[in-house]
Amino acid sequence: MRLEDSGNGREVSTAHPPIDPNRPSAARIYDAYLGGTHNFDADRVVAARAVELLPETPQIARANRAFLRRAVRYATGRGIRQFLDLGSGIPTEHNVHEVAQELAPDARVVYVDLDPTAVLYGRHLLGEDPRTAVVHGDLQHPAAILAEPEVRNLLDLTRPVAVLMVAVLHFLPDGPAMDSALAAYRDAAAPGSVLAVSHLTSSGDPAQMERVTDLYNRAGTPLVPRDAAQVARFFEGWRLVEPGLVFGPQWRPDGEPVSEPARYLTLAGVGER
């Protein structure tokens, strides 16, 4: 794993929780799918097994990032200039601030992740950019996240915000913590705000999804795929914009529609308040 200074003179932040290289992490496994370098052997073993079980896994990860980009462009096009990216992952290509600031240089982004590698590398990459911050936290604790100084300094929640929960909710079990977190972010978001969600689903190919779920569960990073009705519930209090909740590649595609979108095992949607 390379986390050394990139030669731009900035120092790597040391204010991060400890990283356990022997325990696979969802963030680092995903980084491996995307061809990143911020992963260890323990992560690569799980990633390689996932690809054996489901050779399209790297494409699925890339298609998910493409949905994220389209959702960010959509929000920016609606005039939104602030983004709360919950479960943001290890920075890779086309990060939220890069996509948003291409259209709106004044866009501000707070990245939040539970994973220390994502936090450490995110801080390293972003350095002193006053328009972005990386917060270490569990999205299931919205009061703590929303009270973080970086969130309060960068985001004005009296104005519309884009709340992004992309490829993260399937790591959370059903229950009151999840329900109240979703309600808290919704209630904190001013009218005109946007919620973007993508989520692994067993609706497309249940047998494939079950094999991948089993792998993640055994690796200690439990997965909870959900069907369309269960994912639609996350949009309670939001109006789903066209085309609604669909397989990821079907959400306002940039180019030609893909064949067999169900193969991507991911549902995606954007809601507005």
Ligand X SMILES: C[S@@+](CC[C@H](N)C(=O)[O-])C[C@H]1O[C@@H](n2cnc3c(N)ncnc32)[C@H](O)[C@@H]1O
- Binding footprint of ligand X on the chain (CB under 6 A): 26-27, 30, 64-65, 68, 86-89, 112-115, 118, 138-140, 166-168, 171-172
Contact yes or no for 204/265 (Cβ under 8 A) = yes
Cα pseudo-dihedral 255, 259, 260, 263, rounded to 10: -60
Rounded Cα–Cα distance for residues 33 and 47 (Å)? 7
Query: Nearest 5°: CA angle at 254, between 248 and 75?
Result: 75
User: Which is nearer to ligand X, 11 or 254 (by Cβ)?
Assistant: 254
User: Which is nearer to ligand X, 8 or 132 (by Cβ)?
Assistant: 132
CB of 38 to ligand X, least distance (A): 11
Strand runs (DSSP E) across 146-264, as ranges?
162-166, 194-200, 239-240, 246-247
CB of 264 to ligand X, least distance (A): 13
User: Which is nearer to ligand X, 80 or 114 (by Cβ)?
Assistant: 114
Using CB positions, name the residue nearest to ligand X: 89
Q: Which candidate, 32, 26, 270, 38, places its Cα nearest to that of 172?
A: 26
CB of 7 to ligand X, least distance (A): 26
Residue 247 β-bridge partners: 267
CB of 152 to ligand X, least distance (A): 18
CB of 247 to ligand X, least distance (A): 15
User: Which is nearer to ligand X, 39 or 140 (by Cβ)?
Assistant: 140
User: Which is nearer to ligand X, 40 or 158 (by Cβ)?
Assistant: 40
Residue 174, CA distances (Å) to 76, 123, 137, 178 in order: 31, 31, 19, 6
Q: What would the DSSP string read from start to end of 100-140? A: HHHH-TT-EEEEEES-HHHHHHHHHHHTT-TTEEEEE--TT
Contact yes or no for 91/3 (Cβ under 8 A) = no
User: Which is nearer to ligand X, 65 or 124 (by Cβ)?
Assistant: 65
Contact yes or no for 164/85 (Cβ under 8 A) = yes
CB of 118 to ligand X, least distance (A): 5
User: Which is nearer to ligand X, 166 or 182 (by Cβ)?
Assistant: 166
CB of 50 to ligand X, least distance (A): 12
Rounded Cα–Cα distance for residues 117 and 12 (Å)? 12
